Structure 1
Amino acid sequence: MSKLTPGKLAGLKAVSNGHGVIAAAAMDQRGSLQKSIAKDRGGEASGEDLIEFKLQVTEVLTRYASAILLDPEFGLPASHKRNGKGLLLAYEKTGYDANTAGRLPDLLDVWSVRRLKEAGADCIKILLYYTPFEKSSVNDLKQAWIERIGDECLAHDIPFFLEFVGYDVSGVGEKSLAYAKLKPSVVSGCMSEFGKARYNVDVLKVEVPIEMTHVAGTRAFKGEQAYTRAEALQHFRDAESTTHKPFIYLSAGVTNPIFIETLELAGESGTKFNGVLCGRATWFDGIEIYAKKGSEAFREWLETTGVENIQNVNMALQAASPWYLKFGAMSMDELG
């Protein structure tokens, strides 16, 4: 792999723990979070709700995380309460363009990599909905879009974290057994494509290549088998083999126990993953508390259950490998 530039190295160090593992919390949800608070409240949720929610999560959970991922729309007040930990800022608009086919992305209107860096970002994060099974005309647009962002991050010497989330082009849905069987190919295809040098991505933020509820012989299994345990372990190894880039897992909205078991499975497979960016598996169950009982009750929940959730994740991260190994180094200091 190519040598890390000073800015890229500094950014990666800033969001890692002392072991060179990225143990980051994710709190960049916007549209989905607002809808969830409103639903549990049985009324409206304002921008002020999002600001307050993010502030509480950041202040409590960064004590136990190496970094926090926030959005510049509602997360900047929280970015000043991160207990000295690293900061990743999201650059994309929440969701995707629902008026066109192919889940096309868009960037935040009044932000640029330069401005995100000036706002304190150590790293830039982009979320992209992507599947190798989409029409090539759609994927061409997305690939060119990522190339532009990669070049922008290169110009400003800041790490580029690319998160991709697969989807079902057939319209049956991502919860189906058919999609669970296809998911390993979706994840491996994404990792293979965006690990290419032309995109200038520094860290791939990936889904796990299996659907845990369809893995026979796991605690999460719900009866419909897509893979045996041995096949699931092989899917982890196959996905890893598609790239030399550092990669971390996202929690993809699953519960804390399921995400912990997922990381255990990744460890059992021998996969050299480099950490997590974990959001909803840590704080999601607190949304109802915040919506119905307010900020103070939510803070109490975070200090107990929220802390327990993130410490569970940290325990499971003992299976992770330092990202600097991907650069042929034995320590972060060796890189500069």
Structure 2
Amino acid sequence: MSAKDEKKRRLNQLSNESGLITALAFDQRGALKKMIARHQIQPVALEQMTNLKTLVAEELTGDVSAILLDPEYGLPAAKARSAASGLLLAYEKTGYDNIRERLPVCLSDWSVRRLKEAGASAVKFLLYYDVDGNNQINQQKQAYIERIGAECSAEELPFFLEILSYDEKFSDKTSPQFAKLKPHKVNKAIAVFSDQRFNVDVLKVEVPVNMDFVEGFASEEIVYSRKEAAQAFQNQELAASVPYIYLSAGVAVGRFQETLFFAYESGAKFSGVLCGRASWGEVVPIYVKEGQESARRWLQEQGRQNISSLNAVLQQTAVPWSDKYR
């Protein structure tokens, strides 16, 4: 079997019967600590992180094609997941988003081979990228991604690259100022890392607009007309020459589903999602304040409903990754 065929086989392990990637993301580490810390006085314990990830994997992976976890706190959850759910493991160190240049950093005691040995069917790496930023910094980032891509190819594991756009001048990504820049930032980065030199198999991307500023969706100021927003999704489709899936970016369930319909209607041919907090985020305060069994009940009821409704949307809007896989 060729390396490409082996990657395809593993991508099929991460997909549903329709060839869509309907995956749950729970590789949060620093962000999860902050979420838990908001609801308690004592320091966040390692066991809290591990137990919550395991609980989510037990209750929600029966309804998703795969789960994304981290090897620092998520390996017990990986073992607890449904047998039908594939496994992605994160390779980046958490917290480097707080550094000004946001240079990427791999987990120091892991390699793609070790992630594979831990059961991963694919590797995910998160990259912060400002297409208008310092060229020397961007060249360092590109070289880093080339190395990870080569490492994944050597181990015949699919490489999922998550790109988060930013601007050195605007720290508030929720501002209308950044919203005006976002289509360019997101789509240009997608075009850069679609190049074959990076050996990226699937891009995990942001939607190219902030839907809170789109005509008909906006709660405050309007930055984009519906036509302009649709054009941004069309440009995203043109920029991506590899399969791409959307991240939920912590938005509410309903808004994320509305966004997927809008993307589809605009001509975006995305192949699924890696959805995190939109599926499980509301369980955190329940877990902290009411305990594990109350959290389990929420996951069995509302958590599964969140995933079921999202899966129904994806069946209507997404296309198989094989349509674009080269």
Instruction: Please give the range of the TM-score, normalised by the shorter of the 2 chains.
Output: over 0.9
Tell whether the 8 Å contact from 1:124 to 1:160 is kept in structure 2 after alignment.
yes
Counterpart in 1 of 2:14?
A: 15
Counterpart in 2 of 1:324?
A: 322
Q: CA deviation at 1:95?
A: 2.2
Q: CA deviation at 1:312?
A: 1.8
Matched pairs, number: 323
Counterpart in 1 of 2:93?
A: 93
For 2:97 and 2:271, how far apart are their aligned partners in 1?
31
TM-score (norm 2): 0.96
Counterpart in 1 of 2:36?
A: 37
Deviations 1:93-113 (A, max 9, x none): 112163x42212211111000
The unaligned stretches of length 5 or more in structure 2 are: none
Counterpart in 2 of 1:199?
A: 198
Query: Secondary structure of 1:265's match?
Result: helix
Q: CA RMSD in A?
A: 1.3
Q: CA deviation at 1:172?
A: 4.4
For 1:282 and 1:129, how far apart are their aligned partners in 2?
24
- Does residue 299 of structure 1 match 2:296? yes
Counterpart in 2 of 1:234?
A: 231
Counterpart in 2 of 1:334?
A: none
Tell whether the 8 Å contact from 1:38 to 1:291 is kept in structure 2 after alignment.
no
Counterpart in 2 of 1:290?
A: 287
Query: Secondary structure of 1:37's match?
Result: helix
Counterpart in 2 of 1:123?
A: 122
Query: Secondary structure of 2:127's match?
Result: strand
Counterpart in 2 of 1:186?
A: 185
Q: CA deviation at 1:290?
A: 0.8
The letter of the residue matching 1:226 is V
Residues 44-123 of structure 1 mapped to structure 2, 5 A cutoff: 44-84=43-83, 85-96=85-96, 98=98, 100-123=99-122
Deviations 1:73-93 (A, max 9, x none): 000001012111100000011
The unaligned stretches of length 5 or more in structure 1 are: 329-336
Counterpart in 2 of 1:313?
A: 310
The letter of the residue matching 2:271 is N
Tell whether the 8 Å contact from 2:161 to 2:202 is kept in structure 1 after alignment.
yes
Counterpart in 2 of 1:332?
A: none
For 1:133 and 1:295, how far apart are their aligned partners in 2?
45
Q: CA deviation at 1:39?
A: 1.2
For 2:171 and 2:324, how far apart are their aligned partners in 1?
37
Residues 109-258 of structure 1 mapped to structure 2, 5 A cutoff: 109-218=108-217, 221-258=218-255
Q: Mean alpha-carbon deviation: is it higher for 166-175 or for 110-119?
A: 166-175
